[in-house]
Structure 1
Amino acid sequence: MKPRLRKKKPRPRVIRIFADRMAGRMRFIDIGANLTDPVFRGLYRGKQAHSDDFQNVLKRAYDYGVEKIFVTGGSLPDSRRAVELTRLHESLYCTVGCHPTRCQEFEKHPSGEGDYFDSLLSLAKENTSKVVAIGECGLDYDRLQFCPKEIQLKYFEQQFSLVEATGLPMFFHCRNAHHDFMDIIRRNWPKMKGGVVHSFDGSIDEAKAFVDMGLYIGINGCSLKTEENLAAAASIPSGRLMMETDAPWCEMRATHASFQHIKTRFECKKKEKWDPQCFVKSRNEPAAVIQVLEVLAAIRGEEAAQLARQIHENTQRLFKL
């Protein structure tokens, strides 16, 4: 009788080098994920490429220790969608505000800029159990084609009134606008209840300036592209760090300086070959926050679990979760 051949076990969908050992005793909060983006429903540029896999995305996040996710509000309509989404999931929270590249919406609003502002305020005040911050707001001088500098400055400053009225911290955006950004922060500091500069990609000196002002700094894949980025991220005191994915954007790529430090790799497939158990190629998602931790721990020479605890505490403290 021929010996029975053992069936080969199927190759795991996710390659877990680090996560099996660590995820069970680490907790993460992804402070920035654009989960209202249609790609998480399988829609790309208006076309249905695959099934709605939003639940799969959330499950993967939970499997990797992500216990809370902040859905980013980038405009009045987007903030409304974010609030609606958080009502359906206990683990989801959101921000309410207007991104600098979309500040022209204040003036184009059918009922006027005052109504746009009042609607943001009402949305935040009426959903206090889910809205954790005002934002995403700030300045973006890299994309002035979407909104002129003068309009960005005007409505960034105006959104500090939302903070005064709600008592919420701020979720900031700053791209190539450090000097003007800091001027506005200093001028409005008495109104603030703290804040985090999300998706930081600045210099060591800029990071120090934010820390000296008492701000936290959010790190994601876009914060860790170059060796200069890694040096800046390594310079931030652990007590001022937070982590995010900015999904579906800011995934870490093989061309990034951070890539060599990643231990947890996710299997990816193109959207045309969608598999519910895999990442969609070039579509980031909250489970990948563990990669951000791995890179931060490596470049800082710190123990990952201890750093994760510190970052979790930072996040709980600022957002009063």
Structure 2
Amino acid sequence: MSSETTAASMSTTTASQNPADPVLAGLKTQEAHPVSKKLRYADIGINLSDPVFRGNYHGKQSHEDDFTHVLRRALEAGCEKLMVTGSDLKQSTYAVQIAKDHPGLCYATVGVHPCSAKQFDSYRGGPSALLSAIGELAKRSKASGHTVAFGEIGLDYDRLFLTPKDQQLKYFEAQLDLAVEIQLPLFLHSRAASEDFERLVSARLPQLPKKGLVHSFTGSVEEMKRIVEMGLDVGVNGCSMKTEENIEVVRQIPLDRLQIETDGPWCEMRPSHASAKFLKDAPPLPKAVKKERFSPGFMVKGRNESATIPHVAYAIAKIKDISVEEVCEATWNNSIKMFGLGEVSK
């Protein structure tokens, strides 16, 4: 997607800023599912800068831009805060723009994902130029209140074919140092790299009062416990509850260290996942249709979005044998405490 297209398609604002908007007007007060009235969610991991949320799949425009409908469904489901993930300089810039266009609802993260870390060596001007550009974007957008975390950064040894280990390690360490300099909490990624990941992160955490979060967590119980002992929170989404082993990890995450996310457009919860049996009492999701049969107001099959976050909370509640109200209250407070999101922490 070109920067011109992105800028043009991101020109809408939230209802509070533009009540005349026919899509977003009145969202804060309109009726939703009965349960949604008393539950609120913060989706701390949603990739809204992905072209699929503009109807573009693999470079092909398959249906009209329905970005504002995605936001509308999120708010109708009770999702009042969205953290838009930055995965490289371009996507981080998009994330900041979305946060600017939707103040009070959307907030950005800025960073370079481990699978994209090879971009440092191919960047025009070299690695130092890209690091400087990322740092300047993070500083400016933190000062304006649009960026609330440094990330998505980390290590991914499951996909070394995308970026080799030596590049991942080098630029993860460089970005950690930048996060310390800017004083932003961390939004972290860790796959099959726990030893190196914990070594590098633990050395910086004493200099980061708000620590950070390991998002889309799929590691073992032992890895989760070490992460929590380091002072980090754990982000849970559909990918975090695929297997029975995943379910046991979620059961043992301390409630005061838990945050929830969708990681849309990925990590949807599926009937084949171990989490499915914990969704019997969950509210119905908006109707979804195939992208070839797209209609405004419907979700798109296979494209996860923030409107599905109630299912993450309901599954966690059943797994932990507590009320969904407890899950929502705890995760909301944990997210506000760490990232702010325009709210005052209790």
TM range (shorter): over 0.9
1:317 aligns with 2:329: no
Displacement after TM superposition at 1:21 (Å): 3.5
In the alignment, is residue 143 of structure 1 matched against residue 163 of structure 2?
no
Does residue 302 of the first structure (1) align with residue 322 of the second (2)?
yes
**Superposition deviation, residue 268 in structure 1:** 1.5
Match of 2:215 in 1: 198
**Pairs within 5 Å for 1:256-267:** 256-262=273-279, 263-266=282-285, 267=287
Aligned with residue 192 of structure 2, among 176, 180, 187:
176
Query: Contact 2:278–2:318 (CA<8 Å) still a contact in 1?
Result: yes
Q: Give RMSD over aligned pairs.
A: 1.1
The match for 2:265 is 248
1:301 maps to a residue whose letter is: D
Q: Which one has more relative contact order, counting CA pairs under 8 Å at least 6 apart? A: 1
TM-superposition CA deviations, 1:172-199 (whole Å, max 9, x none)? 0001111111111222223333000000
**Partner of residue 274, structure 1:** 294
Find the counterpart in structure 1 of residue 252 from structure 2.
Answer: 235
- CA displacement 1:219-256 (0-9 Å, x = unmatched): 00000001110110110000000000000000011110
CA contact (8 A) 2:180 2:204 kept: no
Q: Report what 2:181 is aligned to.
A: 165
TM-score normalised over the length of structure 2: 0.86
Is contact 1:22–1:305 with CA below 8 Å preserved after alignment? Answer: no
Specify the code of the residue in structure 2 equivalent to 1:65.
Answer: G
After superposition, give the CA deviation of every residue in 1:251-287 in whole Å (9 maximum; x if it has no partner): 0111101112222333221000112222101100001
Q: How many residues end up aligned between the 2 structures?
A: 303
SS at match of 1:95: strand
In 2: Cα distance, 1:37 partner to 1:163 partner: 24
**Which range moved further: 52-61 or 258-267?**
258-267
**Would the aligned equivalents of 1:33 and 1:69 in 2 still touch at CA under 8 Å?**
yes
- Given that residues 160 and 191 in structure 1 are in contact (C-alpha distance below 8 angstroms), is that contact kept between their aligned partners in structure 2? no
* 1:97 maps to which of 92, 111, 114: 111
Structure 1 stretches lacking a partner, 5+ long = 1-18
Q: Which residue of 2 aligns with 1:88?
A: 101
1:291 is matched with 311
1:144-185 Cα distance to aligned partner (Å, 9 max, x none): 000001110111111112222211100000011111111112
CA distance in 1, matches of 2:147, 2:153: 15
**Runs ≥4 residues deviating over 6 A:** none
In 2, distance between residues paired with 1:274 and 1:84? Answer: 26
Could you tell me how far apart the structure 2 residues matched to 1:20 and 1:265 are? 9
Q: Match for residue 29 of structure 2?
A: none
Q: Larger C-alpha radius of gyration, 1 or 2?
A: 1
> What is aligned with 1:75?
88
Assess if the C-alpha contact under 8 Å between 1:160 and 1:192 holds in 2.
no
Query: What is the SS of the residue equivalent to 1:133?
Result: strand
- Out of 219, 227, 234, the position equivalent to 2:236 is 219
Q: What amino acid maps onto 2:165 in structure 1?
A: K
Matched, 1:114 2:128: yes
Contact 2:221–2:252, Cα closer than 8 Å, also in 1: yes
Question: What is the match of residue 16 of structure 1?
Answer: none
The one-letter amino acid paired with 1:221 is G
Query: SS where residue 306 of structure 1 aligns?
Result: helix
For residue 93 of structure 2, give the secondary structure of its aligned residue in structure 1: helix
In the alignment, the residues of structure 1 paired with residue 73 and residue 194 of structure 2 have an alpha-carbon distance, to the nearest angstrom, of 36
Assess if the C-alpha contact under 8 Å between 2:176 and 2:201 holds in 1. Answer: no
Secondary structure of the equivalent of 2:333? helix
- In the aligned structure 2, how far is the partner of 1:243 from the partner of 1:47? 31
Aligned-pair CA distance for 1:213: 0.7
1:207, 1:295 → 2: CA distance? 19
Deviation digits for residues 23-44 of structure 1 (CA, Å, limit 9, x no counterpart): 1011111001000111111111
What residue in structure 1 maps to residue 3 of structure 2? none
